[in-house]
Amino acid sequence: MPVDIPIWKNAVPISILLVFTFVLAILGCVISDFTYFASPNVAFSQSDTKLVNLNGTDSEIKQQDMPPEKVRVGDIDIAYRIFGNGEPILLVSGASAGIDGWDPSTLRSLSSNHKVIVFDGRGVGNTSMGSKPFSIQQLANDTAGLLDALKIQKANVLGYSLGGHIAQQFAIKYSDKVNGLILIATTCGGKDSIPKPH
């Protein structure tokens, strides 16, 4: 006897993903259309001030082609990249995602008027695991240590998914380092959170 499984249960997560992707694409188009944001798409690293074009054609070097820099933060070496010009914005990735997990068009849009900082979190990609136990607080401490090591006093912080949890904890404990907080596809957790419907 066949089992009738409602199709809508599988379609809800896909619908959310499609809406999120559409919103990011529209945001990128809107930002890039304003003259205020229309500065050249360039990248640089801490040790090499050579500018790199990020417009994304095959003949140009892309952000993912730049080798990451590393800096010592507590018990780990954090791999990171910095590119763009303007007010700093720190991007905190979701679980097991790192430097190369961000959409290139989003990075291009952000880097047109921000100094974008992307990094591999503890135990991800090119960042070492260290000896301290993993926790949201420890990952927030690592994030604060990265800004200190890069001599960046304040930044806008964008957290995606698990990175949203880290960004919230970072904003609570290190509020003096936060200009603004942007949370995407995340929750506050705890008893006050509202879980997604099943």
Which residue of the set 111, 161, 175, 193 is catalytic? Answer: 161
User: If DSSP codes are grouped into helix, strand and coil, which group holds residue 41?
Assistant: coil
What is the β-pairing status of strands 114-119 and 87-92?
parallel
Q: Are 118 and 107 in contact (CB under 8 A)?
A: yes
161 is catalytic: yes
Alpha-carbon span 192 to 88, nearest angstrom: 31
Alpha-carbon span 162 to 143, nearest angstrom: 13
Residue with tokens 């529209």: 26
Q: Which residues are catalytic?
A: 161
